[in-house]
Amino acid sequence: MIKKDLVIIGGGSAGLASAVSAFDNGIRDLIILERNPELGGILNQCIHPGFGLHHFHEELTGPEYADRYINEVKKRNIPYLLNSQVLNITKGKIVTFINENGVQKFEAKAIIFAAGCNERTRGQILTPGYRPKGVYTAGLAQKYLNIYGRLVGKNVYILGSGDIGLIMARRMTLEGAKVLGVSEIMPYSNGLKRNIAQCLEDFNIPLRLSNTVTNIFGRDRLEAIEISDVDEKLQPIKGTEKIIKCDTLLLSVGLYPFNSMLKNAGCVVNKESKGSLVDQNLETSIEGIFSTGNVLHVHDLVDFVSEESERAGTNAAKYILNKLSEVKNIVNVSHSKNVSYLIPSIIKVREENENIIFSFRVRKNIKKATIILKNPAKVHYSVKKINLLPAEMIKINVKNLNLLDCNELSLEVIEDE
């Protein structure tokens, strides 16, 4: 079997950034496996501007952002295989993949899993009614339009106010479709405020909050939908039904990490983020298998994907080159109830002072908050933040944490008046 120091699964922004940083930290025997015919991942279909403000301090479109990283990979002559789909990973770090040359295997010292996320589909949110043609996930419609130039419909309704749905509302409008509205079951939108302004308000597209699709009509092709307001328990309110004629319904009801392959390999799952459980180095419960990007937790900003993935690449390189010092203490990390997930779940303490990045989301809008890190005996860190939203991942960078004699750490978001 062919041996490799490092196999990177997925050539999206996460895979590309981790490959570059692993290379820059001394790894030469590495390869990227990508199932698509090109590198760049989801960025290829995100042709709108809005990428790179943190990382490059200028606003780029998705393909432009991808291009910068693809160039870095090419400059270093980092090998990659396209049209190569990974089928399976084992605990022993054997990677099985298939391409035009058949089924092949690599035996890796370390793996970085960067396979991105999937879109939730109708089955998972259980909309009633028939299953006619004309119901698409927003990301799939985006791929058809932005990669192949094919508009999936003319009269469109959108369920869910996530950013992909908002971006597609504008995009389909610009291509001549009529977007009749967006329904969001929650009382607030999950999309960025600027996307509500520039994608909906600019084109007078109505956003209906606390509203959802309650029925779908049409046997062959979608003919109409029924929408209804919902109460506080998210149950449809009788008497508020409204019929809207449309030929297309886009679902923008959320994304989830495409993590099943790591789960099958035996990596412990973080039930809250739906990705793998990782330590501060982004290493999973199996030594030498790292996870990063949307497959670890769904990111709203690619800049944060790149930053996280550079860390994964650096740490995988240290692991391969035996540069990680011995673990002196293990700390379990928990969080308060108003936090929906937190990464990392454990900290392997190797140094007296550790610099650790914590990423998390809150469950509801919080205007003003104090975020603290503490164990029962001591507050280690505290910072104030404003306007915390479930739609926006929060990242805090904590320097010089001394955790040698601590076994529990908890991150708490305290709401301030």
Partner 1 sequence: MSKKITCIVCPNGCEIEIEGDKISGYTCKRGLEYAKEEMIAPKRTITSTVKIKNSNEVCPIKTSKPIPKEKIFDVLTEINKVEIVKPIKMHELVIENVLNLGVNIIATKEFL
Ligand X SMILES: Cc1cc2nc3c(=O)[nH]c(=O)nc-3n(C[C@H](O)[C@H](O)[C@H](O)COP(=O)(O)OP(=O)(O)OC[C@H]3O[C@@H](n4cnc5c(N)ncnc54)[C@H](O)[C@@H]3O)c2cc1C
H/E segment holding residue 194: helix 193-195
Tokens of residue 235, six digits: 């149950």
Cα separation, 280 vs 354, in Å, equals: 10
Please, are residues 332 and 373 in contact by the beta-carbon 8 Å criterion?
no
Q: Which stretch binds ligand X (CB under 6 A): 18-26, 302-310, 333-341, 395-403?
A: 302-310
Q: Does 13 bind ligand X (CB under 6 A)?
A: yes
Q: Which is nearer to partner 1, 84 or 173 (CB)?
A: 173
Q: Which of 8, 20, 78, 86 binds ligand X (CB under 6 A)?
A: 86
Q: Does 14 bind ligand X (CB under 6 A)?
A: yes
- Least distance between ligand X and beta carbon 251 (Å): 13
Neighbour tally for 130: CB within 10 Å = 13
Q: Which of 116, 160, 191, 313 binds ligand X (CB under 6 A)?
A: 116
Please, are residues 89 and 9 in contact by the beta-carbon 8 Å criterion?
yes
Q: Which residues bind partner 1 (CB under 8 A)?
A: 44, 47-50, 53, 59, 61, 63-64, 67, 145-149, 174-175, 192-194, 196-198, 201-202, 300-301, 392
Give the interface size with ligand X as a residue count (CB under 6 A). Answer: 34
Q: Which is nearer to partner 1, 128 or 148 (CB)?
A: 148
From the list partner 1, ligand X, none, pick the one residue 34 interacts with, judged by a Cβ distance below 5 to 8 Å according to partner type.
ligand X
- Least distance between ligand X and beta carbon 327 (Å): 28
Q: Which of 10, 160, 165, 181 binds ligand X (CB under 6 A)?
A: 10
Q: Interface residues for ligand X in 121-140 (CB under 6 A)?
A: 139
CA distances from 260 to 188, 206, 309 (A): 31, 37, 20
Cα separation, 315 vs 309, in Å, equals: 10
From the list partner 1, ligand X, none, pick the one residue 115 interacts with, judged by a Cβ distance below 5 to 8 Å according to partner type.
ligand X
Q: Does 33 bind ligand X (CB under 6 A)?
A: yes
Q: Does 115 bind ligand X (CB under 6 A)?
A: yes
- 15 by Cβ neighbours in 10 Å (0-12 / 13-18 / 19+) ranks as buried
Tokens of residue 251, six digits: 């679902």
Smallest CA-to-CA distance from 183 within 167, 162, 216, 160 is with 160
User: What is the chain's Cα-based Rg?
Assistant: 22
Q: Which of 4, 20, 27, 41 binds ligand X (CB under 6 A)?
A: 41
Q: Which is nearer to partner 1, 87 or 174 (CB)?
A: 174
Report the amino acid identity of residue 254.
G
- Least distance between partner 1 and beta carbon 164 (Å): 15
Report the amino acid identity of residue 336.
S
Cα separation, 5 vs 22, in Å, equals: 10
Please, are residues 56 and 69 in contact by the beta-carbon 8 Å criterion?
no
Q: Which is nearer to ligand X, 228 or 259 (CB)?
A: 259
Which residue is at the shortest CB distance from ligand X? 12
CA distances from 255 to 122, 137, 158, 330 (A): 12, 10, 16, 31
Q: Which of 114, 185, 199, 253 binds ligand X (CB under 6 A)?
A: 114
Residue ranges in contact with ligand X by CB under 6 A: 9-15, 33-36, 41-43, 46, 50-51, 85-86, 114-116, 139, 142, 163-164, 293-294, 299-303, 305
